[in-house]
Structure formats: structure tokens, C-alpha cells
Amino acid sequence: MAIIEMTSENFNSLVSGDKPVLVDFFATWCGPCKMLSPLVEQLAEENADKVTVCKVDIDRQPALADQFGVESVPTLVLFRNGQEAKRLIGFRPMPALLNFIS
């Protein structure tokens, strides 16, 4: 499954399902975000049955970043049943990402 670009308009419909949703808040100018991006893409491909993966460019969607208090990127937020369940800030290796979504 492809990674979905999350916006203020599609946020509620994306996080309201039964499947957990991993949201990657990132910026195009962020070095650690660039390092994390291929891992998030791999995670999305290999775990499509377990989690929906979305990305939020904080420069294009500042209202979403503000709504969730994102002050540092990359920030990963896991939603379950429409509610924030977990949060990670900064680059993490794949084992940590897999643990995060479990």
C-alpha cells in the first residue's frame, strides 16, 4: 500500500478506521526526516495489513502540526480508534519502528 498524504481535510476519515494509523510528521529540509523516510516506506509496504501509513509535511499542513503539538521533526504518531496512542520523536532504526506499531 502506498503512503497517504494526510491533510486537515482527510485526517478524520483516515484515523477513524479499525486499523492503526502511523503518521509521519516531516519536513523536506529535515536531515533526520530524509534518513527515516525510506524506513517508513518499507514499513508501509511490509506491514500494509497491520497499519495505514500517512505523511504530513509540516510546512504544507501547519494546522495539523499545531493541532498535535509537533515541535520537532521527524515525529511519528500512532493512532488507534481515532485517538493518539503513542509518539516517537527523532530518527529510529527499523526494529524500533516495528516495535512502535505493535
Distance CA 49, CA 53 (A): 11
Catalytic residue among 6, 30, 77, 97: 30
Catalytic residue among 15, 33, 70, 88: 33
Q: Is 54 a catalytic residue?
A: no
Amino acid making up residue 10? N
The CA–CA distances, whole Å, from 95 to 15, 40, 92 equal 24, 12, 8
- As annotated, the active-site residues are 30, 33
